Amino acid sequence: MKREFLTISNLLSISRALLSIPFALVMLLPDRPLRFWALGILLAGMVTDKLDGDLARLRGEETEWGKILDPLADKVCVAVMALVLLKLGDFPLWFVLALVVRDLLILSGGIYLKSTRGVVLPSNVAGKWAATFIAFTIIIILLNLFRDMQWILFAACAAGLILSFLMYVVRLLQAVREARA
């Protein structure tokens, strides 16, 4: 696995994390949120998420940094968007807490594994699906659709978060056991 940092794929991941800044700015304007612009920023982030992995594989640029930056960029974007939408009253507190606590626990586990075992776990499929469904939920909220049924979206997102967290814990424990053996 390569250790390079400045690859096109990694720069796309970094740009995705940085997109959370204009998202927050357009949503927290004093007059009113510019939801259409926020939607465009979210969609741009989704495109970079798709491109970074595809380009890394296509160009043979899969790196240890990429395994860290890609999920970290996802977590930064989703956390910022969730916190902004919580402030605006569009996201429930319980969901934002579950999301942020889960991501902090995964981040802590990743730091522990990297520092003690030199291992970086890639994202799992359930985590990618959970992130995609959260992005879909944000789109629905930005478009102000299905207000009476949004609780179903939050419940589905929470189920994905729990499943991906459990899968991560299992892989973390396996990596620790394998490193000891």
Task: Write the pLDDT tens digit of every residue in 169-181.
Answer: 998 888 888 877 6
Q: State the total domains in the chain.
A: 1
Report the DSSP beta bridge partners of residue 2.
63
Residue 137 lies in a domain: yes
- At residue 23 the predicted structure's pLDDT band, cuts being 50, 70 and 90, is very high
Is residue 45 in some structural domain? Answer: yes
Q: Is 98 helix (H, G, I), strand (E, B) or coil?
A: helix
Task: Tell me if 21 is assigned to some domain.
Answer: yes
CA angle 73, 162, 62 (to 5 degrees): 35
Here the CATH number for the domain that contains residue 88 is 1.20.120.1760
Residue 58's SS3 state is helix
CA-only gyration radius of the chain, Å: 17
In angstroms, the Cα distances linking 82 to 124, 135, 180 are 21, 10, 38
- In this structure, of 80-84, 116-120, 136-140, 145-149, the range with the lowest mean pLDDT score is 116-120
d(CA 95, CA 145): 19
52 pLDDT higher than 80:
yes
Q: Model's pTM, two decimal places? A: 0.86
2 pLDDT more than 80: no
The pLDDT tens digits of the residues spanning 108-129 come to 988 888 888 777 887 788 888 8
Return the closest-CA partner of residue 57 out of 14, 12, 9.
9
